[in-house]
A and B are shown apart, each in its own frame.
Chain A
Amino acid sequence: MDSIIEYSPILIKGTITTIQLTLASAVLALTISFIVGLARFSRHRSVRAAAICYLEFFRGTSAIVQMFFMYYVLPLMGVHFSPLTAGILACGCNLGSYGSEVVRGAIQSVSRGQHEAALALNYTTYQRYRYVLIPQAIPVMIPTFSNLLIELMKLTAVASLITISDLTFMAQIIRVQTALTLEPFLVILVIYFIIATLLVQFTKLVERKFSKGRQVVSDGGR
């Protein structure tokens, strides 16, 4: 156990990298979720088709294959990414595809009457989504997004395979240097668990904030 304490600086560094990777790819994934999810409602067939292609491609192939593709194959075509960029892109694009389905489903779950009311008020498409549909869809999205955030955090461990020095990578370094096995892996499992639990608590907070006002509105509307 002594030697694992000796290695705590690199474990802390790994934890920071894991958190950075998680947050950066979460922002990317959220952006993609909304763009691709909303594109599914486009009036242009080509936009809808492009969104479906994106979804099926990133959901249908494995995240680790996407990551290796970005890191090893794209440079051969002249596109160079640093390991960290490749990791963020792969995690973000992969979870973005799952997220787009959440956005689509949540917007579809908003009742038809709301659609019609917005049309009756002569709202433009932008106004209809911005002021009527999306605000009501967000509370529906949050619980699923919470689960996806955990999936994303766990996916960042795979980025250690493309030489990003995150927690998992650090644990491997400790294993190689000290021949310890139980300690490093147990410690990082616990750290991952703590990060995930904090993320869950955070999304619960967000959920409460969003559902607060919502409850009053939906009760008043009935």
Chain B
Amino acid sequence: MEWSWTVVEAVLPKLAQGLIVTIQATFVGAFLAYVLGLGLALLKMSKIKVVAWISYWLGEFVRRTPLLVQLYFLFYVLPDLGIFLSPFVAGVIGLGVHFSAYTSEVYRAGIENVPKGQWEASRALNYNSYQTMRFVILPQSIPPMIPPLANYLITMFKETPLLSAITVIELFNAANIYSNSHYKYLEPMTLVGLFFLIVSVPSAYFAMRLEKHFKPKSMRG
């Protein structure tokens, strides 16, 4: 098995196009996950028991089933019910919904980790609920949320190859299509692996820096 640079030259432009789709899917999916996750977190903390219970188990159901099957569900089942989505849209919705189950836990933990005394203090100051959230709770709960949310962005990036299973031509699928038509597997697959490393290792390092930056002073070692 010889490494061939001509194959590399031929496949690189296709991979670059795929990478753009991968990055688009990651960011749109992440945006959805952040927004839906916030909604789910608020529902989970609802005072109405039934709403809290249903939203908790809905989140758990999404979290305990494979993203690949959820993607198949969106891609194959919805058209039968009369809803037609392009592969990319179905994929991005799948990514967003799947990871909203994770981000909702980040939001919930962030808000619940604010000490009880802070809520009591704002009540003692006669703050209304907007003021409590805006000036007391959120300023304390948002910074610790940032590193885990950034980490999920990296995780989602690494999950995007699953979109190839529903015919989205992202980085991995671009390589796969080339491989299957030219019967060259070594170079395209290795390059895809390399692309992932090039993006995710520096971003993991960056996320680690964020974590150190946003750690409460008392916990810095």
Any chain A CB within 8 A of the CB of B158?
yes
Residue from A72, A154, A181 in contact with B66 in the complex, judged by beta carbons closer than 8 Å? A154
B172 and A56 contacting across the interface, CB-CB below 8 Å: no
Q: Is the CB of B69 within 8 A of A185?
A: yes
Interface residues in B170-221 by Cβ distance below 8 A to A read 172, 176, 179, 185-186, 189-190, 192-193, 196-197, 200-201, 204
Q: In the bound complex, how far is the Cα of B165 from the Cα of A105, in angstroms? A: 35
Complex alpha-carbon distance, A172 and B71, angstroms = 13
- Contact size class for A? 35 or more
A66 to B189, CA, bound (A): 9
A131 at the interface (CB under 8 A from B): no
* Contact of A154 with B67 in the complex, beta carbons under 8 Å: yes
- Which of A62, A155, A181, A193 is the one whose CB lies under 8 Å from B161? A62
Interface residues on B, range: 35 or more
Whether A61 contacts B193 in the complex (CB less than 8 A), given A154-B67, A168-B69, comes out as yes
- The A interface, classified by DSSP as helix, strand, loop or mixed, is helix
> Which one, B1, B165, B193, contacts A161 given CB within 8 A?
B165
List the A side residues contacting B76 at CB < 8 Å: 175, 181, 185
What 0/1 readout, one digit per residue, does chain B (132-166) give for beta carbons within 8 Å of chain A? 00000000000000000000000000111110110
Tell me how far the C-beta of A185 lies from the nearest C-beta in chain B, rounded to whole angstroms: 5
Contact A65 B69 (CB under 8 A): no
The answer to whether A62 and B172 touch across the interface, beta carbons within 8 angstroms, is: yes
> Which one of A57, A65, A188, A197 contacts B192 once the chains associate, using CB atoms below 8 Å?
A65
B1 contacts which chain A residues (CB < 8 A)?
Answer: 76-78
Residues of A within 8 A of B61 (CB): 189, 193
Counting chain B CB atoms within 10 Å of each CB, the highest count among A63, A153, A158 belongs to A158
Q: How many A-B residue contacts, CB cutoff 8 Å?
A: 110
Residues on B with beta carbons closer than 8 Å to the beta carbon of A65:
161, 172, 189, 192-193, 196
CB of B47 within 8 Å of the partner chain: no
B73 at the interface (CB under 8 A from A): yes
| CB proximity of A126 to chain B, nearest CB, Å | 27
B52 at the interface (CB under 8 A from A): no
The answer to whether A185 touches B72, judged by C-beta atoms less than 8 angstroms apart, is: yes
Check A56–B179 contact: CB distance below 8 A: no
B72, B160, B186: which contacts A76 (Cβ < 8 A)? Answer: B186
CA distance A182 to B64 in the complex (A): 19
Other A-B pairs beyond A56-B204, A157-B66, A192-B69, 12, CB < 8 Å: A60-B197, A61-B158, A62-B159, A63-B158, A150-B64, A153-B66, A154-B66, A160-B68, A189-B65, A193-B61, A196-B64, A197-B64
Chain A residues at the B interface, C-beta cutoff of 8 Å: 56-57, 59-66, 68-69, 72-73, 76-78, 150, 153-158, 160-161, 168, 171-172, 175, 181-182, 185-186, 188-189, 192-193, 196-197, 200
